[in-house]
Chain A
């Protein structure tokens, strides 16, 4: 390679390539942000179960089905026999309920498609958040208004820490007219912010 060509490569081509790469990276990063957070992810479920009908119109409590939410780490999805408490009689002739009955009779689990998931190295605990007064909707959105459940929050570490740092905006105990004075209260109710609070 002659000297002039080398010079051209270094002075012109290289910076162009570098700028193009950097621009492409940031463009993809920001454009794909929402996509990666999976906000709006609403896959089709094996049974067209409507949370809007059950939790919204009929006003059933979340914990009627997600029984473990108050007791343990996982909220859990209901066992099929929970559905059959009502649906052995109620609407037994509807096509989706017939599907449900098929699963129940064959003892096959229903393969629900997972929407909310923290990574394996995150040890999120439902029961503690509920006990601290966090409402289901704060993380899961208005599920009672959704026919098809979709994800409304990114469930990323930054998003978790936002709340953990500002309990005064999340918790009834800390909010209120005199919350300006209660710096101590805020510190007391703040969620864990050290590594082992969530990672072990």
Chain B
């Protein structure tokens, strides 16, 4: 066999075009600005003499003043010992996250009564022990120093607020509710998926003539609406992703957004492995944007969302009319809809080449009944309807599962549909508006004039944890409890109900919104137990009797609280057949011009409600790796035409709304498509969120777009100036090649890096030893500077990362920040290349800038056997443990940074500051942030180096437990935080000396490889090469 020609990998345009200044920069130890600490203008004006005098005086003062240097402070004991708390041991509580409508079960780890880490609840059938980055970040939200601590009343518009006591709020609000007269109450909330909250809101409906408006900026409401139209009944069912051999997505980012995300990625990952004789699933994505799912797709077609309807109709025409595989062909209105939609015309119209289109049709036909076609949440109703038709024509309903269909207590509106609310507010129908921890002033399209409408309302009450645009315009701002301080029950799937319990008592003078509403409607004084009693009573009176259990209610309730979730039997509804006529008649075709703008949710801060979370702001965009900002993504061809490059300002005009944003040239983007993330540009929302990025909600319109979040006819022009985006793309980068030398010319294996290894599935099946052969070539050239190999007879720790399963989501990064007390450094420091994440996800492109393939590679300390960092440390601060760990003793480190310089993987991080005090004037030093720290991990100070420790605190804990139990420590059951968080189980960790561990098996796998094996540093993190199930022929 001829040697496979390796694709050329690149991470930026500078690299692709071999910009000499960029390549020179690569050879520097630190990125520009990273090591520049001293700036003359920043320095104090104190003279040298005066400085020395002050130094001497303060030393003398310290010598005489601090006489009690022996004092170790006080030990403060409990007055009355709480039950079940052992000093130094964690307690775990099952609860529910209410961050989005998925309501995942969570397991909260508390130490001495304070929550320090969150993971998914393994008992929960939907998320099965995994939660998203927002859930991981909820610890930081609990301790956010900017949480509203006292109820406040407005002193008038823009005049600020005064703190009040709750009793006064109670009497004022209750008086308002009694004196409603003919006017009504509007309750505005995000999705309500708590049956008890729904009951409470129902009581407000009858008691106070209240109307409930539940809305979401991003939800599957369009898909549900399409389902109602084409199937007449029921709601969109769950998809059995693990049964799909082919997944065809249209602008569908099902791996990073949308409902049931944890279930989706878990099920897809189970089909992305060579093990268990599974057939690899094939993911095909047709999208304008370059989404995370697109990066993971086997085949990706960059087609503007405007043409997706045509492609679906073309496929319908091919399948029903040309190949006659469905009975639609006899339906005249269907024939009218698809007339002229043969593949050739579709190909000409959409720009998707005929071969790909035919291949797609062949794939769909070959996988009839085993494929799923999926349109994204952002797409228009028309595409969803057409996709429903296509799925039905192919018999793909077999993959729909009605047994876990969605439950909704109030219809969830899209933001556009809240026009009724703002019209009614303007008309003066409502005199009281209650916001339940939602932010409609920011979320709703500007043309609804919601802020103006609120001005007509005499009493605006907002329950909120954090200041926001909406609290700013409210008369009463009432601090709400965090999830971890709240009671509740949640149900968004048939047959599954989960409980939420407080794991810490309210830190401030806050109330749970539901409890407060209950105290107003029942005129009972508020207590922490009020809402608990309501929920429990409802369960006892209404839910428990219907279950006909033999256990008494108290044991039932306690066991549900313990498990956090309860599953019960019910009769699943039947899958209703598609109503072709009605579906067909609802599809409307449209024409479009100009650029198409996609407004998508931010990967990290969602629709903006998580914008106050520093961990999430600092988590990078999976593709562009930009942090702390949004931007407009433009295609390389457009950038060339407009003569712009990344970070140049451009102006976008959507209808009448014009905005200036920085551009980012995104390889692979469709050239008629622009993408802007929503969730940024918050105002009046505290130091973390305010002013980060640009408010793209201004582009939202209540009507007129292709869908709520896709607009056509957009104008794009170059604008003056530029804006710096804090991208970590070029930071801590492993040198792909020797400086300035082309890969092809290299003969020395030490300069042929081949960091990413991937192949097509067919090529792998033809020659499973392709990787081994390549490694063989490298192994021949290695040499060691050590005479003797170190032996690890007892335990040897290692990690294996499966790049087939890793989808680059970054949940592990946030989990690591939470577990290991990693500071938030802020945009300014990120720009200087001073990110502190111990674990980063490198993104590589390969191929052409227009159609790149995208690869992800989580990169962390490799705990090399022959660690190059260890033998350059002048003070022995980083040494090797007998179990193969590369230890780091912070107190020995003097900050020479030699280790970082000598690390080929660039995974060491230096504390250029005490970042907690440096970020936003010490924001994360404020009370009560110290409670968020993991007490098992040192908080690093300025001037020391740090890096991934393989969660050594967890290893030591497990080892100590084994020692206590007097058993031989075998390392089974030790997990790292990133491994626990990984929803696809791509990260495996364990003792390789135990042959039954996953990591030991992975090391024997035919796809196993080490990054930079030729250096012979013997890394203990190994990777499984990615296989792409593409249609390409094997090139030999």
Interface string of B925-963 (1 = CB under 8 A from A): 000000000001110000000000100110110001001
| Chain A residues within 8 Å of chain B by Cβ, number | 44
A73 pairs with B87, CB closer than 8 A: yes
CA distance A120 to B936 in the complex (A): 10
The answer to whether B77 and A112 have CB atoms under 8 Å apart is yes
Compute how far the CA of A72 lies from the CA of B89 in the bound complex, rounded to whole angstroms.
Answer: 6
- Pair B78/A79 contact, Cβ less than 8 Å: yes
Q: B159 in the interface, Cβ–Cβ < 8 Å?
A: no
B938 touches A74 (CB 8 A): no
With A109-B79, A196-B885 known as contacts, the answer to whether A121 contacts B891 (CB < 8 A) is yes
Q: Give the contact stretch, choosing among A10-18, A89-97, A100-108, A162-170.
A: A100-108
B74 at the interface (CB under 8 A from A): yes
Judging by beta carbons under 8 Å apart, are A195 and B88 in contact? no
Is A21 an interface position by the 8 A CB rule?
no
CB of B345 within 8 Å of the partner chain = no
CB pair B887–A128 under 8 Å, yes or no, is no
Known contacts A79-B80, A104-B79, A115-B72; A194 and B87 CB within 8 A of each other: no
The yes or no answer to A123 lying at the interface (CB within 8 A) is yes
Question: How long is the Cα–Cα vector from A75 to B812 in the complex, in angstroms?
Answer: 34
CA distance A38 to B949 in the complex (A): 33
Q: Are B74 and A79 in contact (CB under 8 A)?
A: no
Which residues of A from 100 to 136 have beta carbons under 8 Å from B?
A: 103-104, 107-117, 119-121, 123, 125, 127-128, 131-132
> CA–CA, A41 to B68, complex, Å?
11
The contact sample of 20 A-B pairs, CB cut-off 8 A, is A68-B87, A71-B89, A74-B87, A74-B88, A79-B77, A79-B78, A80-B77, A103-B79, A109-B76, A110-B76, A111-B74, A113-B71, A114-B74, A116-B72, A123-B953, A127-B964, A131-B963, A132-B963, A197-B956, A200-B937
A131–B966 touching, CB < 8 Å: yes
Chain A residues within an 8 Å CB radius of B963: 128, 131-132
B964 touches A76 (CB 8 A): no
- Given A196-B885, A196-B956; A114-B79 close (CB under 8 Å): no
Decide if B45 is an interface residue (CB 8 Å cutoff): no
The reply to whether the CB of B747 lies closer than 8 angstroms to some CB of chain A is: no
Contacts A120-B938, A128-B963, A197-B956 given; indicate if A111 touches B76 (C-beta within 8 A).
Answer: yes
Complex contacts, A53 vs chain B, CB 8 Å:
none
A114 touches B953 (CB 8 A): no
A113-B74, A128-B964 known; A81 vs B952 contact (CB < 8 Å): no
Q: Does chain A have a CB within 8 A of B75?
A: yes
Q: Which residue of A lies closest to B82 (CB)?
A: A79
**Distance in Å: Cβ of B290 to nearest Cβ of chain A:** 39
Q: Closest B-chain residue to A111, C-beta based?
A: B74
Does B336 have its Cβ within 8 Å of any Cβ on chain A? no
- Name the contact of A121 in the complex, choosing from B890, B953, B960 (C-beta under 8 A): B890
Q: Mark B668-693, 1 if CB is under 8 A from A, else 0.
A: 00000000000000000000000000
Within 8 A of A (CB), among B201-243: none
User: Which of chain B's residues has its CB closest to A114's CB?
Assistant: B72
Complex: A72 Cα to B76 Cα, angstroms? 18
Q: A82-B81, A132-B963 are in contact. List 11 more A-B contacts (CB 8 A).
A: A68-B86, A68-B88, A77-B75, A79-B80, A81-B78, A108-B79, A112-B77, A113-B75, A116-B72, A197-B956, A199-B938
A59 within 8 A of B: no
Q: Please determine whether B887 and A195 come into contact, CB atoms closer than 8 angstroms.
A: yes
Complex interface: chain A residues within 8 A of B887 (CB):
194-196, 199
Residues of B within 8 A of A114 (CB): 72-75
- How many residues on chain B are close to A (CB under 8 Å)? 39
Is the Cβ of B80 less than 8 Å from the Cβ of A200? no
Does B537 make an interface contact (CB < 8 A)?
no
**In-complex Cβ contact of B960 among A68, A79, A116, A127 (8 A):** A127
Is A112 in contact with B87, judged by CB distance below 8 angstroms? no
CB-based contact B956/A131 at 8 Å:
no
* Assembled-state Cα–Cα distance A37/B53 (Å): 32
For A194, give the chain B residue with the smallest CB separation. B881
B39 within 8 A of A: no
Q: How far is the CA of A132 from the CA of B962 in the complex (A)?
A: 11
**B108 in the interface (beta carbon within 8 A):** no
Query: Which residues on the B side are within 8 Å of A107 (C-beta)?
Result: 79-80
B375 interfacial by beta-carbon distance below 8 Å: no
Distance from B1029 Cβ to chain A, minimum over Cβ atoms (Å): 42
B973 an interface residue at 8 Å Cβ cutoff?
Answer: no
Does B1030 have its Cβ within 8 Å of any Cβ on chain A? Answer: no
The interface residues of chain B lying within 8 Å CB-to-CB of A81 are 78-81
Which residues of the partner chain A approach B81 to less than 8 Å between Cβ atoms? 79, 81-82
Cβ-defined contact, B77 with A117, below 8 A:
no
Q: Does chain B have a CB within 8 A of A176?
A: no
CA distance A120 to B966 in the complex (A): 28
* B881, B953, B955 — most chain A CB neighbours (10 Å): B881
Query: Is B455 interfacial (CB-CB < 8 Å)?
Result: no
In the complex, what's the smallest C-beta–C-beta distance from A191 to chain B, in angstroms? 10
Which A residues touch B75, using CB under 8 A?
77, 111-114
Interface residues in chain B, defined as those with a beta carbon under 8 Å from any beta carbon in chain A = 70-81, 86-89, 879-882, 885, 887-892, 936-938, 949, 952-953, 955-956, 960, 963-964, 966
Closest to B891 in A: A121
Complex: chain B residue closest to A72, CB-CB: B88
B1007 to chain A, nearest CB (A): 31
In the assembled complex, the Cα of A125 lies from the Cα of B885 at a distance in Å of 20
Given contacts A71-B86, A72-B87, A115-B72, contact A200 B960 (CB under 8 A): no
The 9 closest A-B pairs by CB, nearest first: A72-B88, A73-B88, A79-B78, A79-B81, A114-B72, A195-B887, A194-B881, A117-B72, A74-B87
Expressed in whole angstroms, the minimum distance between the Cβ of B873 and any Cβ of chain A is 11
Q: Which of B77, B879, B889, B956 contacts A77 (CB 8 A)?
A: B77
> In the bound complex, how far is the Cα of B80 from the Cα of A108, in angstroms?
10
In the complex, chain B residues whose CB is within 8 Å of the CB of A72: 86-89
B73 neighbours in A (Cβ, 8 Å)? 114, 117
Closest A residue to B886 using CB positions: A196
Give B889's nearest chain A residue, CB to CB.
A195
- A11 to B11 CA separation, bound complex (whole angstroms): 62
Q: Could you say which residues of chain A place their CB within 8 Å of the CB of B889?
A: 195, 199
Check if B938 sits within 8 Å of A200, measured CB to CB: yes
The residues of A that contact B78 with a CB separation of less than 8 Å are 79-81, 109
Q: Give Cα distance in the complex from A199 to B949, angstroms.
A: 11
**Cα distance, A68 to B78, chains bound together (Å):** 13
Query: Once the chains bind, are B890 and A199 in contact (CB under 8 Å)?
Result: yes
Nearest-Cβ distance from residue B962 to partner chain A, whole angstroms: 10
* B89 near A196: Cβ-Cβ < 8 Å: no
Chain B proximity of A153: nearest CB distance (Å): 14
**Docked-complex contact B964 and A123, CB < 8 angstroms:** no
* CA A104 to CA B879, docked complex, whole Å: 49
Q: Give the contacting residue for B888; candidates A75, A195, A197; CB below 8 A.
A: A195
Q: Which residues of B contact A68 (CB under 8 A)?
A: 86-89
Set of chain A residues within 8 Å of B79, measured between Cβ atoms: 79-81, 103-104, 107-109
Report the minimal beta-carbon distance from B955 to chain A, rounded to whole angstroms.
8
- B residues in contact with A80, CB < 8 Å: 77-80
Taking CB atoms, residues of chain B closer than 8 Å to A77 are: 75, 77
CA distance A128 to B966 in the complex (A): 10
Distance (whole angstroms) from the CB of A47 to the closest CB of chain B: 11
Least CB distance from A137 to B in Å reads 20
Instruction: Provide the bound-state CA to CA distance between A127 and B75, in Å.
Output: 19
CB neighbours (8 Å) of B77 from chain A are 76-80, 109-110, 112
CB distance A76 to B87 under 8 Å?
yes
In the assembly, what is the distance between CA of A114 and CA of B489, in Å?
44
The answer for the CA separation of A109 and B74 in the assembled complex, in Å, is 11
- Residues from chain B with Cβ under 8 Å of A41 in the complex: 70
CB pair B936 A200 closer than 8 Å: yes
Nearest B residue (CB) for A112: B75
Chain A stretch 157-180: residues in CB contact (< 8 A) with chain B: none
Set of chain A residues within 8 Å of B86, measured between Cβ atoms: 68, 71-72
Choose one: A71, A76, A109, A194; the contact of B879 (CB below 8 Å). A194
Q: List the A side residues contacting B74 at CB < 8 Å.
A: 111-114
With a 10 A CB-CB cut-off, give which of B72, B74, B890 has the most chain A CB atoms. Answer: B72
Which residue from chain B places its CB closest to the CB of A68 in the assembled complex? B87
